[in-house]
């Protein structure tokens, strides 16, 4: 496929006898923002490190823009910027010196300052990095991933330690760059943030991919429900289930919604039975709920 920038095929990795990645395959399209999520220790960072050629893998194939990537072939990594686990910082250099150190020959001072401005780091960029707070270091790590204008940017937990404003700024930067054709692979535990960014989602659990697809599909697969607060919840539950409504087992009256569910019908049904409705809420499951459902139901066994 011409518009695929990253292709991972049958990737396997063991640490000792423990299998950390089992036959992982996915591809990433150019200009897409892809979220990589999963529980702690699922193998997210390991996948990212493999893509960055940081270790050998016994089987599988990784290609970046058509070029193979492994520990011994790094040529394609010219097109990649990354922040993995936590930002590596030399305490004796200033933020600006870090950016100068890691910027490619073609990157001008002006382009470096553009990244600094975008990340709003101007006020402290000339200070020694050892004086930086956690969030400042994180921003520097992200700036280092961006500075060479790579085609693919890999960010591992980029929102770590960022304040709400910085979070929003980062989102704007990522969305802008994606519009210009930059591809992102982002892992995060802050699902509410990730949800606002990503086009596609890869869910990994115990070293295996359990979901791969776009966000819309995942959301449509989840349940929508209507939560009612009534003058007599117990009675309301009885009446609704007698009338063929599917209820979710919970303290509240929670009705599963589908295309045929009409609120007016429910209101009518309850009021004819002398039950007052005090409040109605539509609950649409977010990424977090969908994901937790997915992980709860997945059949992956530890091995």
Partner 1 sequence: MVTLVRQEIFKLVHKKSTWATSIILLVIMTIFAVISRNHPNTIDPKAIFVSLFTGFDWIVLFMIAAASSIISMEFQYGTIKELLYRKYYRGEILVSKWLAMVLYSIYFIALAFVYSLILKLILFNGTFQLSETYGNKHSILVTALYTSLSGFVALWLVLSLVLLLANLFKSSAAAISVGIIGYFAINVVSSMLIIAIKKWTWLKWNPLNMMNYPNQVISPSLKHMTLLSTNELLIGSLVYMVIFLGISYSVFKRRNV
| Cα gap 50→8, rounded to integer Å | 10
Quick one: which of 116, 84, 118, 79 has its CA closest to 98?
Answer: 116
Contact between 66 and partner 1 by CB under 8 A: the answer reads no
Contact between 134 and partner 1 by CB under 8 A: the answer reads no
| Cα gap 188→173, rounded to integer Å | 17
Contact between 133 and partner 1 by CB under 8 A: the answer reads no
Contact between 92 and partner 1 by CB under 8 A: the answer reads yes
C-alpha to C-alpha distances, 286 to 198, 226, 248, nearest whole angstrom: 13, 15, 17
According to CB under 8 A, which residues from 173 to 192 bind partner 1? Answer: none
Distance of CA 133 to the CA centre of its chain: 24
Contact between 12 and partner 1 by CB under 8 A: the answer reads no
Contacting range for partner 1; rule: CB under 8 A; set: 101-109, 170-178, 181-189, 283-291: 101-109
Quick one: which of 52, 57, 51 has its CA closest to 13?
Answer: 57
Q: Which of 43, 53, 95, 158 binds partner 1 (CB under 8 A)?
A: 53
Contact between 49 and partner 1 by CB under 8 A: the answer reads yes
DSSP 41: T
**CB-nearer residue toward partner 1: 15 or 217:** 15
How far does the chain reach from its first CA to its final CA, in angstroms?
Answer: 34
Contact between 144 and partner 1 by CB under 8 A: the answer reads yes
Residues that bind partner 1 (CB under 8 A): 49, 52-55, 71-72, 74-78, 80, 82, 84-93, 97, 100-102, 105, 144
């Amino acid at each position: 496929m011409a518009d695929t920038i990253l292709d991972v095929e049958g990737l396997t990795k063991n640490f000792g006898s423990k299998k950390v990645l089992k036959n992982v395959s996915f591809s990433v399209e150019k200009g897409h923002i892809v979220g990589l999520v999963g529980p702690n220790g699922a193998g997210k960072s390991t996948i990212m490190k493999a893509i960055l050629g940081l270790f050998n893998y016994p089987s599988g194939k990784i290609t970046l823009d058509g070029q193979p990537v492994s520990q011994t072939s790094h040529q394609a990594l010219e097109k990649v910027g990354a922040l993995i686990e936590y930002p590596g910082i030399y305490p004796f250099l200033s933020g600006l010196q870090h950016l100068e150190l890691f910027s490619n020959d073609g990157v001008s001072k002006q382009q470096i300052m553009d990244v600094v401005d975008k990340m709003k780091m101007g006020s402290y960029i000339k200070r020694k990095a050892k004086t930086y707070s956690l969030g400042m270091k994180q921003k520097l790590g992200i700036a280092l991933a961006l500075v060479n204008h790579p085609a693919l940017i890999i960010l591992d937990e980029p929102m770590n330690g960022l304040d709400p404003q910085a979070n929003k700024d980062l989102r704007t930067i990522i969305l802008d760059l994606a519009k210009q054709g930059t591809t992102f692979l982002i892992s995060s535990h802050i699902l509410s943030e990730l949800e606002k960014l990503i086009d596609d989602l890869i869910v990994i659990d115990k070293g295996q991919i359990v979901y791969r697809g776009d966000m819309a599909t995942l959301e449509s697969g989840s349940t929508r429900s209507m939560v009612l607060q009534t003058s007599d919840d117990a009675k309301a539950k009885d009446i609704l289930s007698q009338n063929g409504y599917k209820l979710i087992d919970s303290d509240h009256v929670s009705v599963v919604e589908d295309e045929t569910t009409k609120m007016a019908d429910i209101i009518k049904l309850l009021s004819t039975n002398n039950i007052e409705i005090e409040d109605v809420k539509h609950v649409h499951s977010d990424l977090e709920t969908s994901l937790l459902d997915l992980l709860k139901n997945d059949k992956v066994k530890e091995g």
